[in-house]
Amino acid sequence: MLAHDRPTRTVPPSDHANAAPVLAPILEARAVVRRFGGRAAVDGVSLTLRAGDCLALFGPNGAGKTTLLRLLGGLIKPTRGEVCLAGHTLPGDGATRRLVGLISHHTMLYAALTARENIRFAAECQGVLDVEGETTRVLTHLQVLDRADTPVRSLSRGLQQRVSIARALVHRPRLVLLDEPYTGLDDVGASALTEALRDAQQDGAALVLITHHLHEGLALATDTAIMLNGRFAYTKQAGAHGIDVTAYQQQYRSLVSEGAA
């Protein structure tokens, strides 16, 4: 994904595609607009993501990041434009929806059920054949197997978040949408999450990661975007050595303060 001069709203396909064989896009958003009443929460965003891409999305509160994520997941319909997942226009049918894994700062778990029951239920809903095997695999991966039979309401916030991540990854989605997934995680949890996301990336999943933590976001990102007032105000692609966090932080602060002014 290439950086564009402001105030461009289009993020083209990644430049990685020049070096490697061109992969079919997993996710394509074309001039997506979503209005709530008269206000455009997302205003003409376009993006393309391929297998292994990770778009880190930054921006102040109210910039439209979560709305964009819900559009990309097919949870809400765009007012204008379209979102295509693996060639199918969202919201799509069940087969399209199962390609998405959704992680948010809301855990999306049932407090009265145990961690294992929550993940088993998610696996069943996604039509996973080996429900028990995949449930155990993902619990092990997120390092919560020893608390698998504890009701979620009795788990700490950090452990709940790890279970929530396990729930979203149990069916090995091709697109993982993450809204502030590091919220409430301790170091162990954050490392487990980063490792799980890297594995998902290597398995060919594309990621969209919303976070206020620049370090975590940039560590995984192949592409980044700063969102302001529903638009991509700045985009940048990670080079071979990643992205300089300090320089990016300055860029972010400058854009946000300009936007606020």
Partner 1 sequence: MTLPHREPRFLTGAWQVARKDLLIEFRTRSAFLAASVFAVLAVVIFRFTWDPTGIPAFELAPGVLWVIFTFAGLLGLNRSFALEQQDRAFDGLLASQLSRESIFAGKVIANLVFVAAVQALALPAVALFFDLSVGSAWWAVMAIVLLASVGLSAVGTLFAAIASNTRMAELLLPMMTLPFFVPLVIPAAQASALIMRGQPIEDGLSWLKVLVAFDLVFVSACVVAFPFTIEE
Q: In this structure, what token pair is assigned to residue 232?
A: 């991509």
Contact between 103 and 178 (Cβ < 8 Å): yes
Nearer to partner 1, 132 or 203 (CB): 203
Question: Which residues bind to partner 1, rule: CB under 8 A?
Answer: 70, 73-77, 93-95, 97-100, 102, 104, 106-113, 117, 121-122, 124-130, 134, 151, 167-168, 171-172, 174, 203-204
Nearer to partner 1, 204 or 242 (CB): 204
Nearer to partner 1, 162 or 172 (CB): 172
Distance of closest approach, residue 60 Cβ to partner 1, in angstroms: 22
Contact between 104 and 72 (Cβ < 8 Å): no
Contacts of 42 (CB under 8 A, 6+ apart): 32, 33, 34, 64, 67, 68, 71, 78, 230
Distance of closest approach, residue 57 Cβ to partner 1, in angstroms: 18
Nearer to partner 1, 176 or 214 (CB): 176
Distance of closest approach, residue 53 Cβ to partner 1, in angstroms: 16
Alpha-carbon torsion (240, 243, 246, 251), positive or negative: positive
| DSSP states of 147-174 | GTTSBGGGS-HHHHHHHHHHHHHTT--S
Q: Which of 103, 99, 125, 107 is nearest to 193 (CA)?
A: 103
Distance of closest approach, residue 76 Cβ to partner 1, in angstroms: 4
Contact between 144 and 163 (Cβ < 8 Å): yes
Distance of closest approach, residue 132 Cβ to partner 1, in angstroms: 14
Quickly count: other Cβ atoms within 10 Å of residue 176's Cβ.
26
Nearer to partner 1, 151 or 259 (CB): 151
Nearer to partner 1, 39 or 215 (CB): 39
Distance of closest approach, residue 210 Cβ to partner 1, in angstroms: 15
